[in-house]
């Protein structure tokens, strides 16, 4: 009665937001620039944090201009970091709401929401004899988490970035090279051009014998998957994508968000999550690439297309859709 309409926990949140039993949060304790457009964010997780496995990612909820937005970021700190803090490393992308906010505006002391770490882009229990890390741009982040966590006798990395100064963690990578803990090939795409996957024969002649972890843009990962399959060694390739591979787009339609009372026209290629957010509708979201199911929403009427497969889902009682990988397929009504 004393605290109505707030709950006692709302007051506790003010004095002890990271306490055990509270919703999981983290406090940004530092922001370290890495390159011109990337920064490492040091986060002190709340008491409920259960730790992570190298290579996993964490979903974070950040308030940007008064709107809570959720995004996934790979954890770049080792699992045994003594001070209990974790780091993520974010590359600002053009027009990116959360990435630009974190890289350019996030301040120490800011509270963010956290989920537990998750993801299966991880190292196996039994150490492989030879490892290859194939990365590009911000795709280096989960691999840096692995490099900082686990040493192997024979590790080769091929990393692509436009120019030397764009290589995130460059000086740390070169320290590992100097200590003979890593063999590194940097491909500077502004001068060398995009990596032709067939060049691996020359850069890493025994690539097919190596257990490989690859992370980067869709073009690189699609080429790698095709190359490994062609040589019959696809089970040695592990990939992590930061965006869904969108293969099918169709006709769009008029989308109604009936709970909010808003109707907009949408094309057949834009995920309904983006359509809703653009229209000012409060949309739940998660990984934004169809893996976490944090965005599922009832489809009240009409039909939607799964952008990864082209499959059409029609409204029926109880039908839920993943708005981050579904686009309008004609007029539809989304219960938000
Ligand atoms: C498992 C996982 C791990 C990830 N780890 C990292 C990480 O360690 N570091 C990191 O920087 N990012 C990482 N990401 C990507 C991150 O979650 C965001 O997608 C990214 O920061 C862009 O968010 P934004 O709000 O800035 O862009 P938005 O405002 O959502 O999008 C702005 C524009 O950029 C496009 N876009 C969205 N995402 C990308 C992208 N990744 N690349 C290019 N264009 C994009 C959109 O289509 C839109 O046109 C990861 C994603 C996943 C799924």
Write down the pLDDT at residue 44.
97
Q: Where are the beta strands (DSSP E) in 56-204?
A: 57-64, 67-74, 86-91, 111-114, 131-136, 155-161, 183-188
Phi/psi of residue 195, nearest 5 degrees: -70, 120
Which secondary structure element, helix H or strand E, spans residue 263, and what is its range?
Answer: strand 262-266
Residue whose CA is closest, atom 38 of ligand 1? 243
Residues 6+ apart with CB under 8 A from 172: 144
Q: Ligand 1, closest atom to CA 38?
A: 11
Find residue 238's DSSP bridge partners: 213
Q: Ligand 1, closest atom to CA 100?
A: 26
Ligand 1 centroid to residue 52 C-alpha, Å: 21
Is the pLDDT assigned to residue 222 strictly greater than 70?
Answer: yes
Q: What is the CATH number of domain 8-114?
A: 2.40.30.10
Which DSSP string do the residues of 273-322 spell out, in sequence order?
Answer: HHHHHHTT-----SSSSSSS-TTEEEEEEEEEEETTT--EEE--TT-EEE
Give the tens place of pLDDT for each residue, 223-252: 999 999 999 999 999 999 998 877 777 899
Write down the pLDDT at residue 68.
85
Please compute the mean of the pLDDT values over residues 109-118 and round it to a whole number. Answer: 95
Residues of the chain with CATH 3.10.20.30: 253-334
pLDDT grade for 10, boundaries at 50, 70 and 90: low
Rounded Cα distance, 132 and 76, in Å: 18
Ligand 1 centroid to residue 136 C-alpha, Å: 14
Query: Who has greater pLDDT, 289 or 94?
Result: 94
Give the tens place of pLDDT for each residue, 130-150: 999 999 999 999 999 999 999
Q: What is the CATH number of domain 253-334?
A: 3.10.20.30
Which secondary structure element, helix H or strand E, spans residue 200, and what is its range?
Answer: helix 200-203
Ligand 1 centroid to residue 317 C-alpha, Å: 33
Give me the half-sphere count of Cα atoms (radius 13 Å) on the Cβ side of residue 88. Answer: 26
Ligand 1 centroid to residue 251 C-alpha, Å: 25
Instruction: Find the range with the poorest average confidence among 38-52, 112-126, 276-290.
Output: 276-290
Is the pLDDT assigned to residue 284 strictly greater than 80?
Answer: yes
Residues of the chain with CATH 3.40.50.80: 131-240
Write down the pLDDT at residue 9.
67
Is the pLDDT assigned to residue 12 strictly greater than 80?
Answer: no
Is the pLDDT assigned to residue 108 strictly greater than 70?
Answer: yes
Q: Which one of 35, 65, 71 would you pick to mutate in the ligand 1 pocket, going by the greatest count of ligand atoms within 8 A of its CB? A: 71
Write down the pLDDT at residue 291.
86
Q: Ligand 1, closest atom to CA 74?
A: 8
Ligand 1 centroid to residue 73 C-alpha, Å: 9
Q: Calculate the CA 9 to chain-centre distance.
A: 31
Is the pLDDT assigned to residue 187 strictly greater than 80?
Answer: yes
Ligand 1 centroid to residue 107 C-alpha, Å: 20
Write down the pLDDT at residue 23.
81
Residues of the chain with CATH 2.40.30.10: 8-114
Share of the chain above pLDDT 70, in %: 95
Write down the pLDDT at residue 325.
95
Q: Please give all residues whose beta carbon lies within 6 A of any atom in ligand 1, as ranges.
A: 57, 71-74, 88-91, 93, 95-99, 119, 138, 141, 242-243, 287-289
Give me the half-sphere count of Cα atoms (radius 13 Å) on the Cβ side of residue 293. Answer: 2
Write down the pLDDT at residue 3.
67
Q: What is the DSSP letter of 145?
A: H
Residues 6+ apart with CB under 8 A from 317: none
Q: Ligand 1, closest atom to CA 119?
A: 1
Q: Ligand 1, closest atom to CA 69?
A: 25
Write down the pLDDT at residue 249.
74
Q: Which one of 53, 64, 73, 272 would you pick to mutate in the ligand 1 pocket, going by the greatest count of ligand atoms within 8 A of its CB? A: 73
Ligand 1 centroid to residue 35 C-alpha, Å: 17
Please compute the mean of the pLDDT values over residues 197-204 and round it to a whole number. Answer: 97
Share of the chain above pLDDT 90, in %: 83
pLDDT grade for 2, boundaries at 50, 70 and 90: low
Residue whose CA is closest, atom 36 of ligand 1? 96
Ligand 1 centroid to residue 192 C-alpha, Å: 25
Output the average pLDDT for the chain: 93
Assigned CATH topology for domain 131-240? Rossmann fold (3.40.50)
CA 70 vs CA 197, 207, 286, 292: distances in Å: 33, 36, 6, 12
Rounded Cα distance, 145 and 122, in Å: 10
**pTM value?**
0.88
């Amino acid at each position: 009665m004393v605290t109505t309409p707030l709950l006692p926990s709302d007051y506790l949140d003010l004095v002890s937001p990271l306490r055990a039993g509270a919703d999981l949060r983290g406090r940004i304790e530092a922001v370290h620039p890495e390159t011109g457009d990337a920064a490492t964010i040091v986060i002190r997780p709340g008491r409920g944090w259960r730790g992570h496995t190298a290579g996993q990612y964490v979903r974070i909820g950040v308030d940007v201009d008064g709107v809570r937005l959720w995004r996934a970021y790979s954890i770049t700190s080792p699992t045994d970091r003594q001070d209990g803090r974790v780091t993520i490393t974010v590359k600002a992308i053009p027009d990116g709401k959360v990435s630009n906010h974190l890289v350019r505006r996030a301040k120490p002391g800011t509270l963010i929401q956290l989920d537990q770490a998750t993801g299966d882009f991880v190292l196996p229990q039994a150490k492989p004899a030879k490892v290859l890390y194939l990365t590009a741009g911000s795709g280096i982040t989960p691999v840096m988490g692995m490099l900082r966590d686990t040493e192997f006798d024979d590790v080769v990395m091929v990393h692509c970035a436009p120019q030397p100064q764009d290589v995130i963690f460059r000086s740390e990578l070169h320290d590992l090279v100097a200590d003979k803990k890593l063999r590194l090939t940097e491909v500077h795409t502004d001068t060398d051009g995009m990596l032709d996957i067939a060049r691996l024969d020359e850069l890493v002649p025994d690539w097919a014998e190596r257990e490989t972890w690859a992370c980067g843009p869709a073009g690189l990962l699609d080429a790698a998957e095709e190359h490994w399959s062609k040589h019959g060694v696809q089970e040695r390739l592990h990939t992590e994508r930061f965006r869904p591979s969108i293969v099918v787009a169709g006709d769009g339609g008029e989308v109604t968000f009936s709970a909010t009372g808003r109707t907009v026209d949408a094309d057949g290629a834009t995920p309904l999550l983006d359509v809703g957010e653009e229209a000012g509708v409060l949309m739940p979201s998660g990984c934004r690439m169809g893996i976490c199911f944090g965005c599922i929403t009832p489809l009240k009427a009409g039909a939607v297309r799964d952008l990864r497969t082209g499959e059409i889902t029609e409204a029926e009682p109880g039908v839920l859709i993943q708005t981050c990988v579904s686009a309008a397929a004609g007029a539809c009504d989304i219960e938000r």
